[in-house]
Amino acid sequence: MKTFQTQPGFTVQAYRYALDPNSGQERALRSHCGAARAAYNWAVAWVSASWWQRKAEATYGIPEEDLTPWRPWSLPALRKEFNKVKKTDLRFADWWEGNSKEAYSTGLSNASAAFDNYAKSKNGKRRGKRMGAPRFKSKRKARLACRFTTGTIRVDADGRHVTLPRLGTIRTHEPTGSLLTRVQAGTARILSATVRHERGRWFASFQVEVKRDLERVTRPDVAVGIDLGVKTLAVMADSTGEIRAVPNPRHYDGALKSLRRASRTVSRRQGPDRRTGRRPSKRWEKANARRNKVHHRVANLRTDALHKLTTAVAAEYGTVVVEDLGVAGMLRNRRLARQIADAGFGEIRRQLDYKTRRRHATRAIVADRWYPSSKTCSGCGAVKAKLPLHVRTFACDACGLVLDRDDNAALNLAALAVAGTTGTGVAGDRDTPQAVSKPRGADRKTRATRPRPVAGAGRAGGATLPHQRREETRDRPQPEALTLW
């Protein structure tokens, strides 16, 4: 994959357009994506062969220095070896010339990145979950994608066509004026293009180096806290005290009736069976296409709504404060998993992150995951020990403030921007000069563990029983105020 040096004042941005290819162009698109998959599988097999060979030789007692040398997985090494075998290997000899060289380069680049990620993960140099060794891509499941970095890559002057290497000129489903105007004015330069098939359509995504002028927000001195939820998608409270609620559109729930009907039709058709090798019937394929169309419509509506929300927020406020939600853990709740997945909490944070970075006068603050925004009183800063999810109204025991829990959480998030912290310190202590890390689950009461029994000692041996320890604790002097956080 090529790396580009961005000029001062320029930023790299993507422009994506839906395509309307004819039958011949669609065959060519699928052929290029299939070539990328075949090159990826070849690279995985070529590199892994040396691993298995060394493992087999080690079982015969061959010393380390005499084992088969490791095969490199860098992109230049893979390209060099692939160019040697592409004319003689029976897997490529008959058809490799029918596609652009960029298709094979895409697969080799992806394989090189996969091996790099695996090696870094195994050596502890990569964050996140441990990654396994690269595996072969299935023809049935692999995502169709191909990237072009050289050759003729342009947006045509008529604003309704794009030109790609070996694929020729393809009509777009929508006008390309947003990119064409910048290219003609000299404020944008196309770096690469990627074609991808998703949601039943072909898309062309252009990686563009764009010159961006200073974009000013409507209220640069105002900070907003955003509390995400299921009943209400977002409750926004700014530093001036104004509170606004964005209702949850619930696109998936609205299409659930149609989706159930379509799924019932699919289940009554003769579908594929991998165990017996049975192929799906034509009626099953048509019914499955109708069901997928419902899913695609829901995904498009959700994407459109989230983009409109995040764009409006980034264009209005100078500081945006959002929570670091553990969405993966929230999805384990079987009662709310569907609603949480439909809301798209992670996508909202991702879009706010890059949309605020585009604007020089806007910043995004991510509150600590363990900051109790719902339990903290926005008036006096007192913190409740417990606030169950079914309690939708916050009532402060210290100052008597009664407020909706979502409004109270949004006000606390907005206050973090004014305090200049991220909520990693003691909850409610806004005068803390330095943030102190809080351990996991510190807002929960710790259950007292029973003492281990002493070997050979009974009640007469002086062992302390649990009820005796509770009585002794009850007699101890208690502090006047105890703050749980």
Does residue 141 carry a pLDDT above 90? no
Whether 54 and 189 share a structural domain: no
Q: Are residues 243 and 199 in the same domain?
A: no
Who contacts 426 (Cβ-Cβ below 8 Å, separation ≥6)?
432, 436, 438, 485
The one catalytic residue among 102, 406, 407, 443: 406
Same domain flag for 245 and 190: no
Q: 375-406: buried (b, 16+ CB within 10 Å) or exposed (e) per residue? A: bbbbeebbbbeebeeeeeebebeeeeeebebb
Of 315, 296, 401, 295, the closest CA to residue 362 belongs to 315
Whether residue 471 lies inside any domain: the answer is no
The verdict on 74 and 151 lying in the same domain is no
Q: What is the pLDDT of residues 102-119, one digit of tens each?
A: 999 999 999 999 999 999
Stretch 124-143: mean pLDDT:
90
Of the two residues 398 and 192, the one the predictor is more confident about is: 192
Identify whether 274 is part of a domain.
no
- Assess whether 407 carries a catalytic annotation: no
| DSSP secondary structure, 370-428, as one string | T--TTTB-TTT--B-S---TT--EEE-TTT--EEEHHHHHHHHHHHHHHHT--S-SSTT
Known catalytic residue at 221 = no
Q: In the chain, how many domains are there?
A: 3
Beta carbons of 423 and 371 less than 8 angstroms apart: yes
Q: Is there a domain that residue 442 lies in?
A: no
Which one of 54, 88, 122 terminates a domain?
A: 122
Residue 297's CB: how many other CB atoms inside 10 A? 16
**364 and 345 in a common domain:** yes
Is 446 contained in some domain?
A: no
- How far apart (Å, rounded) are the C-alpha atoms in residues 344 and 230? 10
CATH code for the domain in which residue 391 is found = 3.30.420
pLDDT of residue 475: 42
16 with 39, same domain: the answer is: no
Is 130 within a domain? Answer: no
Percentage of residues of the chain with pLDDT beyond 90 = 59
Between CA 460 and CA 441 the distance in angstroms is: 38
Q: What are phi and psi of 216, to 5 degrees?
A: -95, 150
Domain finish residue from 163, 187, 211: 211
In a domain, 186, yes or no: yes
On whether both 92 and 160 belong to a single domain, the answer is: no
Name the residue range of residue 192's domain.
10-23+145-211
Which one from 227, 238, 368, 443 is the annotated catalytic residue? 227
Q: What is the mean pLDDT of the chain?
A: 84
In a domain, 61, yes or no: yes
Residue 435 pLDDT class (50, 70, 90 cuts): very low
From 323, 368, 407, 443, active-site residue: 323
Q: Do 153 and 18 have their domain in common?
A: yes
Mark 213-233 as b/e (b = at least 16 C-beta within 10 Å).
eeeebeeeebbbbbbbbeebb
Q: How confident is the model at residue 421 (pLDDT cuts 50, 70, 90)?
A: low
Say if residue 354 is in the same domain as residue 370.
yes
Q: What is the pLDDT of residues 336-370, one digit of tens each?
A: 999 999 999 999 999 999 888 877 677 889 998 88
pLDDT of residue 152: 92
At residue 322, the 3 state secondary structure works out as strand
Rounded Cα gap, residues 180 and 365, in angstroms: 34
In a shared domain, residues 81 and 194: no
Average pLDDT over residues 46-73: 91
pTM of the full predicted structure? 0.77
Residue-wise pLDDT for 309-340, tens only, equals 999 999 999 999 999 888 888 999 888 999 99
Question: For residues 68 and 109, what is the distance between their CA atoms, to the nearest angstrom?
Answer: 24
Residue 474: pLDDT band with limits 50, 70, 90: very low
Q: Which segment of 18-32, 417-431, 433-447 scores lowest on mean pLDDT?
A: 433-447
Last residue of a domain, one of 211, 241, 259: 211
Give a yes or no: residue 457 inside a domain: no
Give yes or no for residue 459 having a pLDDT over 90: no
Q: What is the tens place of the pLDDT at every residue in 390-412?
A: 888 999 988 888 999 999 999 99
Q: What's the pLDDT score for residue 184?
A: 93
193 and 330 within one domain: no
Nearest in space to 243 (alpha carbons), one of 400, 392, 419, 411: 411
Same domain, 356 and 374: yes
Q: Catalytic site residue 368?
A: no
